[in-house]
Structure 1
Amino acid sequence: MMTSKQIKEVSLKHFAKDGYEGASLAHIAEDVGIKKQSIYTHFKGKDELFLQLCSDASEDEIRFVVNFIETNKTRPIKEFLYDFLMQSLDRYEKNDSNKFWIRTAFFPPSHLNEMVMKVVNEYLDKLEELLLPIIEMAMGEGEINSIIGGRQATAAFLGIYDGIVVEMLYGGPERLKKRLDASWDVYWRGLSK
């Protein structure tokens, strides 16, 4: 039986690979094994399908962050933060939802820009809200320098995260490693006591 879940799974791969403009409902329907008009039984159209995937991907990313924090919060902050970056890179390589999410955040369809950026900015605010207590706790325990302040340290960390995401999209492995190594080194020296 045909379900909206199957349509979303196949659509995610198409949108992640080809973007909004390159993804075709006809190709999606073909890969699901249905006629194109059957998609409209579940979704009003391409926009509604895309926005649902965007919302789902945001929720997936928040679940990843919450799970990462739960399973790693007792580790030293240096390992915690660096491993968060490493797992983010790994997710981009192996996870269609993450690939779709990052592509969508950087290249939203122009006519959906406002709606997509609302979801992206809510995600970024939530990410900061989730990481801030971890960084503040490390400051309180004397693991890292508290002169900078938790909000500033968290925002700077997210700047590194943004930088590696840009290199994942545009730069390739060597540029990514160079950017990550340099950014991480300067960031960590700034936080170290």
Structure 2
Amino acid sequence: MTRAKLIQAAFHNFGEHGYNGGSLAQIAEETGIKKQSIYTYFKSKDELYLAIYERAMLNELEFMKAAMTSYAQQSIEEKLLPLLQQVEQRMGQYVETKFFIRSTYLTPPHLAQTLTKLTYYYLDYLEQLFEDYFTTQHITVSPQEAAISYLALLDSLYVEMLYGGNERFLKRLHASWKIFYKGITN
């Protein structure tokens, strides 16, 4: 039970403050234990951070996989535009998602190599997931090109979620979706 509480507190703390601003003392306090007790479960701040990053990444992969496999025959507009909107909603609703997106773009330099490997795993998985979907659609570009372009769109929206807020996110979403959709269907 304490390990699960630690993980949840770490998601919240690192999601709000990042690696450098994250505090093991605050995580321990929120969990109701002493800071030294964290080391019973995790050898270091780095180990805790990496463990929750991997967990958050797997959660996001499961979300994407479920979203892409449900209603597999939906059109591009019915499926992929709402998916982008759901990603933004998840950022506001789930500390795990907020942590994952923040950590993907604001990587602690000394953990960059490890986090980059995990991030590339995530991106490669998504690329294949989207490519598989695009093979079932009538598009004017290759499924791989469509998948890569959709990932670029998603990537830009992640950045806007971090830095721009809801209004800027929606502005970027509507403009870029229009161009993306026309680009792959006309």
Fold agreement, TM-score > 0.5: yes
2:154 and 2:182 map into 1 onto residues whose CA distance is 17
Q: How does 1:51-130 map to 2 (within 5 A)?
A: 51-130=50-129
1:191 and 1:94 map into 2 onto residues whose CA distance is 31
Q: What TM-score results when the alignment is normalised by the length of structure 1?
A: 0.93
Superposed structure 1 runs of 4+ greater than 3 Å apart: none
1:3 and 1:174 map into 2 onto residues whose CA distance is 39
Structure 2 residue runs without a partner (length 5+): none
How many residues of Structure 1 are paired with residues of Structure 2 in the alignment? 186
2:87 and 2:51 map into 1 onto residues whose CA distance is 22
SS in structure 2 of the partner of residue 34 of structure 1: coil
Instruction: Give a deviation string over 1:67-100, Cα, whole Å, max 9, x none.
Output: 1112231211221111110111111111110100
- What's 1:168 paired with? 161
- What's 2:143 paired with? 150
1:31 and 1:173 map into 2 onto residues whose CA distance is 29
Instruction: Give a deviation string over 1:90-138, Cα, whole Å, max 9, x none.
Output: 1111111010000000011111111111111110110111111111111
Shift of 1:12: 0.6
Contact 2:2 / 2:31 at 8 angstroms: preserved in 1?
no
Question: Over aligned residue pairs, what C-alpha RMSD do you find?
Answer: 1.1
Identity among equivalent positions (%) equals: 38
Structure 1 residue runs without a partner (length 5+): none
1:173 and 1:40 map into 2 onto residues whose CA distance is 38
Shift of 1:3: 2.4
1:19 and 1:58 map into 2 onto residues whose CA distance is 16
